């Protein structure tokens, strides 16, 4: 009888303990992102999601891989140069973010990854990107490498059907924020506002 | 006689006035072309279409000597993915104001035949289903923060 009573009490105490711990954890995990997500369109990943190895090349034909993201905050957007509306619109927003939050000197880099490697290469990207900002990095690579990167970021792209000798490339509208440990830290859904992006970046970056 | 003449003129004026209202066709305002990086294969043009009349119309085609081809497009973001949709026509309902703006409706201008930079302008001929043809002169402008927004 005594042992049974003890057993019941012990079970009750243990259950209470579990409930308290779960409650504390739930409360904490709800509170943490809630503080950061107060910026419109921004989703913060808790925990941040590490990126795999990938091999692209930039507009100088230099290897653009995981190591190029290390030690910096990176804002990354997928697009293509045959895109008249949303890509230049987004790059103008990124240029405005650069004006507010800073660039290289502040440890921030801005990257445009072309998901149209059949038409975009180092030369086309080298002509295209400096128009928006001389520091902006343009990169592209083979479909396999692009897939590896987009998949890791939860991004999407797909070439549409050819019409009149032209085709569109559908692609994620989001801007991805990668932290200095090369982890996806946050993403911003479109339509993009430079002030919101800069604020979100500065809040996570600190300082 | 003089009185009748005056009356007839009055009636004529009234009729032409009414016809003008009934016939009032689509108006194009604030046309501009966004300057693109040098060598960019495509550009976009934006403007506002206003239909002051009670008859629906449609923008069905655009011609311009500065480009190989011009298409009417809409940028759509569905489930986080941006897609460009080519439209056969852009409907302009009665009394409607249709805005072509970054991130939404736009003209896709394929392969400029000359290098276009801010300060220059291009001629575009807008063709409507009603038969109306409007020629607009669209200045090439650099997109600044204020014009990059879309709501």
Contact B83 A129 (CB under 8 A): no
Q: Which domain holds residue B100?
A: 24-143
Q: How far apart are CA A80 and CA A115, in angstroms?
A: 6
Q: How far apart are CA A187 and CA A203, in angstroms?
A: 14
Does B37 reside within a domain?
yes
Question: Domain holding A139: CATH number?
Answer: 3.40.30.10
| Chain A, nearest residue to B73 by Cα | A85
Question: Domain holding B127: CATH number?
Answer: 2.60.40.1890
**pLDDT at residue number A191:** 87
Count the domains in chain B.
1
Residues in A 131-150 with any Cβ partner in B closer than 8 A:
131-132
Q: Please tell me the distance in Å from A191's CA to the nearest CA on chain B.
A: 7
Q: Over the stretch A78-114, which tens digit does the pLDDT of each residue have?
A: 999 999 999 999 999 999 999 999 999 999 999 999 9
Residue A110, class by beta-carbon neighbours within 10 Å (0-12 exposed, 13-18 middle, 19+ buried)? Answer: buried
| Chain A, nearest residue to B79 by Cα | A172
* Co-location of A77 and A91 in the same domain: yes
* Co-location of A78 and A113 in the same domain: yes
Residue B53: which residues within 8 A CB-CB, separation 6 or more? B21, B22, B23, B24, B25, B94, B95
* Co-location of A139 and A158 in the same domain: yes
* Co-location of A28 and A116 in the same domain: no
Q: What are phi and psi of B117, to 5 degrees?
A: -130, 160
Contact A82 B42 (CB under 8 A): yes
**pLDDT at residue number A33:** 47
**pLDDT at residue number B62:** 98
Does B46 reside within a domain?
yes
Mean pLDDT of B16-43: 83
* Co-location of A57 and A17 in the same domain: no
ipTM above 0.85, yes or no: no
* Co-location of A65 and A136 in the same domain: yes
Q: Over the stretch B96-116, which tens digit does the pLDDT of each residue have?
A: 999 999 999 999 999 999 999
Strand locations in chain A (E): 42-50, 55-58, 63-65, 73-79, 108-114, 137-140, 157-159, 169-172, 175-178, 183-188
* Co-location of A10 and A76 in the same domain: no
Q: Please tell me the distance in Å from A199's CA to the nearest CA on chain B.
A: 16
Residue B3: which residues within 8 A CB-CB, separation 6 or more? none
Q: Measured between beta carbons, which residues in chain B are less than 8 angstroms from residue A124?
A: 39
Q: Is 50 exceeded by the pLDDT of residue B146?
A: no
pLDDT category at A192 given cuts 50, 70, 90 is very high
Q: Please tell me the distance in Å from B14's CA to the nearest CA on chain A.
A: 46
Contact B40 A160 (CB under 8 A): no
Chains A & B: contacts with CB separation below 8 Å:
97
A175 and B CB contact within 8 Å: no
Which residue among B37, B80, B149 places its CB closest to the CB of A128? B37
pTM for this prediction: 0.81
* Co-location of A6 and A51 in the same domain: no
Mean pLDDT of A176-202: 96
Q: Please tell me the distance in Å from A130's CA to the nearest CA on chain B.
A: 8
Does B8 reside within a domain?
no
Does B80 reside within a domain?
yes
Does B12 reside within a domain?
no
Does B35 reside within a domain?
yes
* Co-location of A113 and A149 in the same domain: yes
Q: Which domain holds residue A9?
A: 1-36
Q: Measured between beta carbons, which residues in chain A are less than 8 angstroms from residue B38?
A: 127, 131
**pLDDT at residue number B39:** 83
Q: Over the stretch A105-154, which tens digit does the pLDDT of each residue have?
A: 999 999 999 999 999 999 999 999 999 999 999 999 999 999 999 999 99
Q: Please tell me the distance in Å from B39's CA to the nearest CA on chain A.
A: 7
**pLDDT at residue number A125:** 97
């Amino acid at each position: 009888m005594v042992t049974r009573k003890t057993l019941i009490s012990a079970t009750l105490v243990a259950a209470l303990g579990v409930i308290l711990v779960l409650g504390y954890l739930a409360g904490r995990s709800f509170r943490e992102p809630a503080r950061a997500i107060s910026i419109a369109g921004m989703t913060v990943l808790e925990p941040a999601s590490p990126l795999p190895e990938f091999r692209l090349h930039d507009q100088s034909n230099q290897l653009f891989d995981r190591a190029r993201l290390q030690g910096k905050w990176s804002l990354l957007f997928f697009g293509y140069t045959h895109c008249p509306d949303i890509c230049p619109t987004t790059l103008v927003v990124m240029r405005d973010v650069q004006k507010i939050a800073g660039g290289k000197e502040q440890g921030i880099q801005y990257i445009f990854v072309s998901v149209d490697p059949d038409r975009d290469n180092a030369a086309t990207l080298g002509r295209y990107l400096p128009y928006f900002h001389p520091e902006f990095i343009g990169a592209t690579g083979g479909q396999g490498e692009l897939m590896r990167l987009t998949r890791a970021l939860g991004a999407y792209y797909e070439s549409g059907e050819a019409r009149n000798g032209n085709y569109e490339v559908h692609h994620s509208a989001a801007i991805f924020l990668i932290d200095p440990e090369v982890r996806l830290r946050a993403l911003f859904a479109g339509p993009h506002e430079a002030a919101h992006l800069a604020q979100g970046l500065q809040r996570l970056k600190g300082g | 006689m003089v009185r009748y003449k005056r009356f007839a003129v009055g009636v004529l004026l009234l009729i032409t006035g009414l016809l003008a209202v009934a016939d009032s066709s689509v108006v194009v305002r604030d046309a501009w072309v966004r300057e693109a990086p040098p060598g960019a294969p495509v550009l976009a043009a934006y403007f506002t279409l206003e239909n002051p009349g009670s008859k629906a119309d449609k923008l069905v085609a655009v011609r311009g000597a500065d480009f190989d081809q011009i298409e009417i497009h809409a940028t759509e973001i569905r489930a986080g993915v941006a897609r460009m949709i080519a439209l056969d026509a852009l409907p302009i309902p009665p009394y409607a104001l249709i805005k072509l703006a970054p991130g939404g409706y736009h003209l896709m201008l394929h392969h400029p035949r000359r290098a276009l930079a801010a300060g220059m302008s291009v001629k575009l001929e807008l063709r409507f289903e009603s038969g109306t043809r409007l020629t607009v002169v669209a200045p090439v402008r650099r997109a600044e923060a204020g014009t990059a927004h879309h709501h």
